[in-house]
Chain A
Amino acid sequence: MTAIIYVPTDSGALALGADKVANSIASELETRGVEARIVRNGSRGMYWLEPMVEVATESGRVAYGPVKAADVLSLFDAEFLSGGNHRLSLGDPERIPFLARQTRLTFARCGKTDPLSLDDYRAHGGLTGLEKAAAMTPADIVKTVTDSGLRGRGGAGFPTGIKWNTVLGAVADRKYIVCNADEGDSATFADRMIMEGDPFVLIEGMAIAGLATGATKGFVYIRSEYPHAIRMMEKAVQVARRAGVLGPAVMGSPNAFDIEIRAGAGAYVCGEETSLLNSLEGKRGVVRAKPPLPAIQGLFGKPTVINNVISLASVPVILDKGAEYYRDFGMGRSRGTIPIQIAGNVKHGGLFEAAFGMTLGEIVDEIGGGTATGREIKAVQVGGPLGAYFPRALFDTPFDYEAFAAKDGLIGHAGITVFDETADMLKQARFAMEFCAIESCGKCTPCRIGSTRGVETLDKVAAGVEPEKNLALVTDLCNTMKFGSLCALGGFTPYPVMSAINHFPDDFAPRAVAEAAE
């Protein structure tokens, strides 16, 4: 058989030199006259091992990593095409503890398959969810999603089935499925990984949403910072269209559904759903007041399902294996699995899909392996730039929507940034305000002006100007932003700011005095 060599085309792998590795392998194959096929797969999500090259052997897949172009010659010499031993040998990738400990439902295929091969997708269980959905009534599809307990993975955690039910019940000549792929939170890359590594699962999820609600048109709004994801999704949509997965008769059913890929233009706030809808319509990405809910009056005033990439990409497995199968994972009201993204100053950074319920400490210390710099962990920010900073004292918090809310934090899109002891939490609090000022859409005064006043006031604290009075002012300002902003940008910026102040008070102590005391 012709050997198959997998070299990821995921942006993270590309950023670490995967193209150079693939080119070296190709030229070495030619030099040696060896016949083999190079497949550019997605990433398995173990970024400290990227670029991770895999070879399909008779006894299964064998991985090598992290591979540099300079290692390619020695890999051939070690006969890696038949799984030969090399200093970069990792063995069966699925037995690497980081991967073996995961429960991969949404990411079941990511990193295994050729992202643009529909045959590969089908061979690994793809399209069965859509096939089953095509034989169900819309109400039954919605009920399955509702019963699965799936909640919006974008951050808000709103039950997906309930949203779909509203759109199903709305009467209109046209309905839309909008996929929010404006993944702007630092520490998050799950959407990017799935779009680059298994784009058909998102297409399948959107098609199911279309069948469930009577929507015939879908948009994927992808941030412009993800050029590779945009290109991959565009190609995947064309493949799906040619195969009849999309088009006038989805999978041979009487239902039409098609998808258009749209690029954002560099505005963080467009990750907020109503702002995203305005942007799609060609307007300024300004937040809309709710009600009306997008499910009633969304894109172009029509009933619209707007879901995050991971919410939609989790739907195929739910339809395929049933609501109970999915619901049986997780804890409390957080059902199923969540792709946790471990990032920043961490030894083993990457994507870890697991049932809800692991503690923050397990994720950061055991899975992540502590900091990359080898220093003590000072803080972890959970949920992106609008998420709280957690100290080690809160590492027993289980990964669950309600448990994080109870500790004045949020899961958000499940990104975790690890900071070592050199982090300056006043600087991080200031950055949260600064970021809000840069990205505010300007509609709400507390967000638009409060963020700038927040930066100035924290600068006064840093300069030792009436620190107590100014910290009280920041607290009051955060309160105003929290309750006086329409969306999460202004409303949640207080999370990183207040958690930094509350959990790391030493970093806010007057510096001149602290230095004088030394």
Chain B
Amino acid sequence: MMQPQGTQTEAQVAAIIDEFKALEGPLLPILHGIQEEFGYVPQEALPVIAGALNLSNAEVHGVVTFYHDYRSKPAGRHVLKLCQAEACQSMGSDAVAAQVKTALGIGFHETAGDGSVTLEPVYCLGLCACAPAAMLDGEVIGRVDADAVAEIVREVRT
């Protein structure tokens, strides 16, 4: 039996599919649209997409799981990405990551118990001349130091 919530999700997913279906190669734009709507890609969206695009469930599953961006469950209210690539390493991104992990009590790919924040590594934000860099809810932050870490932690806790 289909749960009522599933039905609603499916209807929302179908509307997003309709929006992008006419594009050439519409699968990634559809998945982006779904993630923007729900904050993640719900499992029940996959067969709906597969049906609409005439793909197998396995193909859609394969695509969703290939890309780092697509989440299988909701993220925290805030998403904090810390760049861990070489240019940031040269400016102490390891230490920044350690400070943030301690302050938030979570590691990479984890969400705080109160649902406030999800912490993720990212490999390059293109802010390599003002390293170390971070991104909080899509906003870029350069030259992240102890003060910036304190401010970020304050912000995600409110």
B87 and A284 within 8 A (CB) = no
**How far does the alpha carbon of A191 sit from the alpha carbon of B126 in the complex, in Å?**
9
Of A100-108, A390-398, A413-421, the one contacting chain B is: A413-421
A187 and B66 within 8 A (CB) = no
> In the complex, what residues of B have CB within 8 A of residue A11's CB?
125-127, 140
Among residues of B, the one whose C-beta sits closest to the C-beta of A47 is B129
B155, CB-defined interface residue at 8 Å: no
Of B9-17, B19-27, B97-105, B110-118, the one contacting chain A is: B19-27
A349 and B129 within 8 A (CB) = yes
A189 and B128 within 8 A (CB) = yes
A265 and B28 within 8 A (CB) = yes
B141 and A15 within 8 A (CB) = yes
A-B contact count (CB 8 A): 152
B140 and A189 within 8 A (CB) = no
Given contacts A16-B130, A344-B128, A372-B91, contact A281 B69 (CB under 8 A): no
A285 contact from B66, B126, B139, Cβ within 8 A: B66
A 226-262 to B, binary, CB cutoff 8 A, 1 in contact else 0:
1110000000000000000000000000000000101
Of A162-170, A178-186, A464-472, the one contacting chain B is: A178-186
Give 5 new A-B contacts, CB below 8 A, not counting A188-B126, A264-B28. A187-B86, A264-B67, A341-B128, A341-B129, A438-B123
A88, CB-defined interface residue at 8 Å: no
Report B151 CB to chain A, min CB distance, Å.
Answer: 12
B4, CB-defined interface residue at 8 Å: no
A residues near B (Cβ < 8 Å) are 11-12, 14-16, 47-48, 50, 183-189, 191-192, 217, 224-228, 260, 262-268, 279-286, 300, 341-346, 349-351, 372, 381, 384-385, 415, 417-420, 423, 428, 431, 435, 438-439, 441
B68 and A267 within 8 A (CB) = yes
> In the complex, what residues of A have CB within 8 A of residue B135's CB?
225
Interface of A is mostly: mixed
A266 contact from B23, B67, B90, Cβ within 8 A: B67
A16 and B86 within 8 A (CB) = no
B138 and A227 within 8 A (CB) = yes
Residue of A187, A342, A418 most packed against chain B (CB within 10 A)? A187
B96, CB-defined interface residue at 8 Å: no
A15 and B90 within 8 A (CB) = no
A15 contact from B68, B87, B124, B127, Cβ within 8 A: B127
**How far does the alpha carbon of A192 sit from the alpha carbon of B124 in the complex, in Å?**
12
A428 and B126 within 8 A (CB) = no
Among residues of A, the one whose C-beta sits closest to the C-beta of B144 is A15
> In the complex, what residues of B have CB within 8 A of residue A349's CB?
128-130
A284 and B126 within 8 A (CB) = no
B32 and A15 within 8 A (CB) = no
> In the complex, what residues of B have CB within 8 A of residue A342's CB?
129
> In the complex, what residues of A have CB within 8 A of residue B129's CB?
12, 47-48, 189, 341-343, 346, 349-351
> In the complex, what residues of B have CB within 8 A of residue A351's CB?
129
B126 and A189 within 8 A (CB) = yes
B 44-62 to A, binary, CB cutoff 8 A, 1 in contact else 0:
0000000001000000001
The 25 listed contacts between A and B (C-beta, < 8 Å) are A11-B125, A12-B127, A16-B143, A47-B129, A50-B130, A186-B85, A188-B128, A192-B126, A224-B69, A225-B135, A226-B125, A264-B69, A265-B28, A265-B67, A267-B68, A280-B28, A282-B25, A285-B67, A300-B24, A343-B87, A344-B91, A346-B129, A385-B85, A417-B128, A423-B90
Report B126 CB to chain A, min CB distance, Å.
Answer: 4
Report A415 CB to chain B, min CB distance, Å.
Answer: 7
Report B63 CB to chain A, min CB distance, Å.
Answer: 6
B31 contact from A260, A265, A267, A420, Cβ within 8 A: A265
A282 and B66 within 8 A (CB) = no
**How far does the alpha carbon of A268 sit from the alpha carbon of B83 in the complex, in Å?**
14
B126 contact from A183, A279, A419, Cβ within 8 A: A183
> In the complex, what residues of B have CB within 8 A of residue A268's CB?
123
**How far does the alpha carbon of A281 sit from the alpha carbon of B123 in the complex, in Å?**
24
B133, CB-defined interface residue at 8 Å: yes
**How far does the alpha carbon of A420 sit from the alpha carbon of B126 in the complex, in Å?**
20
B25 and A345 within 8 A (CB) = no
B29 and A262 within 8 A (CB) = yes
